[in-house]
Amino acid sequence: MIIERDVPISMDDGLVLRADVFRPDSGAHPVIMTLGPYGKGVPYRVGFKPQWDWLISTYPDVLPGSSREYMNWETVDPEIWVPWGYICIRVDSRGAGRSPGYLDVFSPREIKDYYEAIEWAGTQPWSNGKVGLSGISYYAITQWLVASLQPPHLTAMIPWEGAADCYRDIARHGGIQSNAFFEAWYPRQVVSVQHGNPKAVLDPWMNEIASGPESDLLSDEELKNNRCDPVQDVLARPLDSQWYRSRSADWSKVTVPFLSAASWAGFGLHPRGNFEAFTQAASKQKWLECHPGRHEEWFYLNEPMAMQKRFFDHFLKGVDNGWDREAPVLLHLRRPFTDKFELRKEPSWPLPNTKWTRIYLEANQSSSPLLAWEKPSKSSSLSYMAMEESLTFTSPPLEHDTEITGPLAAKLFASSSTEDMDLFVTFQAFSPENREVDFQGTVDPHTPLAQGWLRASHRKLDTSKSLPYRPYHSHDEVLPLDPGRVYELDVEIWPTNILLPKGYRLALQISGKDFERPLPPDKPNEAWISRGSGPFLHTLPADRPNEVFGGWTTIFTGAESPSFLMLPIIQA
């Protein structure tokens, strides 16, 4: 394997990005590329030590044949892919790692740089002219964005757990600012290796600082002035706008073949993008794969690695391995309380044998709130303090084994004592012994079955894009509430999968704040890790002042206000 460090790639404005290239020692080969801000000189085992330690302790034999010494966070392992006949290229994005410039994550300038880098890679003498993209999270988001620019040498891509709509997937869920992720992620994973940051870790492969060279080191003030502030950028833009659109995929222009790999339990960031890509992108050759597990886990396991290789061998090498005849949808099915996940292949998404089924909310005053298969004939209502309490509606035990796979939606009739309200909706299931069915999520080890959000003043629907099972809100104007008036609200709930045995019960929690279970007594310093919503919280007082969002919320059910949950029940 030939390794070239800090290879210069000139951009159209004269700025030079730096890349590391891993390639076979002879011949022309296809390229697998990433471009992003995490630092090509930051070893996985150093920069992301807790995740690394978990991976290799859980899977001691992961990536057989590799020393795992050349790995970066969320990117392919060159010791695996180069022997398979691929060139692996990692590019430090503008303003990050060894590349100078203004750091502006997901910006049009960064994506234009990606276009330039792809075209550079596709025209090098060691390249066969076919460039593939593969990577997790940030390295998946930017795949959707650069594919919208249609670089000629981009041939195929695998966006693994990648958000696609900057407003709806990342910044503002249902119009509510998702601040905690940016507040935690940006300083820890991006600013820490900003170009010129003297506190960055050592690049052991070059024996220099990963954010260098040392001649480019900057003061704290200079660093701050040379980067964006995503929390404030989002706070200043409560409505969808060109700023968000320029950082989101244009599905009409995404035409490249792709394999969209979605996590079943990544609520708050990625999976919506993977599902929307499969249903909305213009690509004629596209596949959807759905898997469980932690964010950094499934990408490196043997079965998913074989799938990635088969996909790229077909599109980047022209191997006739049957991939073009592979089923469009590959689902790893979840059952309660097991770590076994069987693969099932399907022809489309949502699944063709989906029976869209309403289960109605019943605000019973004399007993616990209910979920009922028949619409209640009488009107009823229940109220809760939005910032302090929640309501949970629970079904009777299921009479049959039941599969729920697909997107969900809730139609809620609600009022507020103030001029606005935020709705946090969580879909759950419980065993006959009242044990909650949860799963290891991308971050949180106890993720519920599905989540959705809506700010009531953002209730306006885009009727051209809305579906009965996937409402689409325009987020283009604020419509304040009249206190006490009942409004009909449609809440998008992100897709899920679960196969429940007979006797289990369904539940829907409605609250005015993030879903969180009580803090485990054995993890007093890890509140977000195991409480249910991971780091994807909505707690910024500037976006959610208590005097507006801390009032009384009332949910109305039955008769003229038939609140319900739309379920994708799969018929045998």
Query: DSSP 3-state helix, strand, coil percentages of the chain (rounded to 5)?
Result: 20, 30, 50
Which residue, 280, 306, 326, sits at the end of a domain? 326
Q: How far is CA 402 from CA 318, 349, 397, 457, 569, in A?
A: 42, 18, 11, 35, 7
Whether residues 60 and 196 fall in one domain = yes
Q: What are the tens digits of pLDDT across the range 198-225?
A: 999 999 999 999 998 988 999 999 999 9
Is 367 within the bounds of a domain?
Answer: yes
The encoded tokens of residue 294 equal 């932690």
Pairing mode, strands 127-136 and 154-160: parallel
Within a 13 Å sphere around the CA of 177, how many CA atoms are in the beta-carbon half?
A: 21
CA 470 to chain centroid, in Å, comes to 17
Closest to 90 (Cα-Cα) out of 148, 52, 142, 144: 142
Asked whether the predicted pLDDT for residue 166 surpasses 80, the reply is yes
Supply the pLDDT for residue 214. Answer: 85
State whether 434 and 314 are in the same domain.
Answer: no
- Give the single-character DSSP code of 457: G
In the chain, the largest separation of any two C-alpha atoms, in whole Å, equals: 77
Distance between CA 567 and CA 572 in Å, rounded? Answer: 15
Distance between start and end Cα atoms, the chain:
50
Q: Are residues 369 and 303 in the same domain?
A: no
Residue 230 lies in a domain: yes
pLDDT given for residue 287 in this prediction:
99
In a domain? residue 278: no
How far apart are the C-alpha atoms of 281 and 544, rounded to whole Å?
34
Specify whether 308 is located in the same domain as 420.
no
Task: Indicate the pTM of the whole model.
Answer: 0.97
Q: Print burial letters for 97-121: b (CB count within 10 Å at least 16), e (below 16).
A: bbbbbebbbbbebbbbbbbbbbebb
Same domain, 148 and 50: yes
Which amino acid is it at 533? Answer: S
pLDDT of residue 546: 97
Domain count, the chain: 2
- SS3 of 512-539: the string is CCCCCCCCCCCCCCCCCCCCCCCCCCCC
Q: Is 531 left (phi over 0), alpha (psi -120 to 50) or beta?
A: alpha
What are the start-end ranges of the H helices in 255-322?
271-280, 302-317
Residue that is last in its domain, among 282, 309, 326: 326
Place of tokens 């309403």: 358
Shared domain check, 365 and 304: no
The model's pLDDT over 470-512, given as tens digits with 9 standing for 90+, comes to 999 999 999 999 999 999 999 999 999 999 999 999 999 999 9
HSE, side-chain direction, 13 A CA sphere, residue 410: 28
- In angstroms, the CA 515 to CA 317 distance is 46
In a domain, 274, yes or no: no
| pLDDT interval class at 527 (50, 70, 90) | very low
Say if residue 318 is in the same domain as residue 361. Answer: no
Provide the token pair at 316: 């980047």
Element (H, E) at 455: strand 450-455
**Do residues 456 and 420 lie in contact, with contact meaning Cβ atoms separated by under 8 Å?**
yes
- 144 and 27 part of one domain: yes
pLDDT tens readout for residues 88-128: 999 999 999 999 999 999 999 999 999 999 999 999 999 99
Position 289 in a domain: no
326, 342, 366: which is the final residue of a domain?
326
Do 308 and 441 have their domain in common? no
Torsions phi, psi of 559, nearest 5? Answer: 50, -115
> Is residue 199 in a domain?
yes
Give domain status of residue 165, yes or no. Answer: no
Compute the distance between CA of residue 359 and CA of residue 372 in angstroms, rounded to an integer.
5
Are 230 and 107 in the same domain?
A: yes
Mind listing the pLDDT tens digit for each residue in 403-459? 999 999 999 999 999 999 999 999 999 999 999 999 999 989 899 999 999 999 999
The structure tokens listed for 40 are 């090509």
Distance CA 257, CA 203 (A): 35
Average pLDDT estimate for 361-388? 93
In a domain? residue 120: yes
Residues 6+ apart with CB under 8 A from 35: 17, 90, 91, 92, 93, 110, 113, 114, 117, 139, 142
**Using CA atoms, how far apart are residues 450 and 264, in angstroms rounded to an integer?**
9
Model confidence at 529, pLDDT cuts 50, 70, 90, reads low
Residue 460: give its domain's CATH number. 2.60.120.260
Together in a domain, 66 and 211: yes
Mark whether 27 and 122 lie in a shared domain: yes
CATH value at residue 97: 3.40.50.1820
Cβ-Cβ contacts under 8 Å for 320 (sequence gap 6 or more):
314
Which amino acid does the sequence have at 82? V
Spatial separation of the C-alpha atoms in residues 195 and 104, rounded to whole Å: 12
| Residue among 159, 362, 181, 122 nearest 262 (CA) | 159
pLDDT tens, residue by residue, 39-56: 999 999 999 998 999 999
Domain residues for the domain of 210 are: 2-160+176-237+296-326
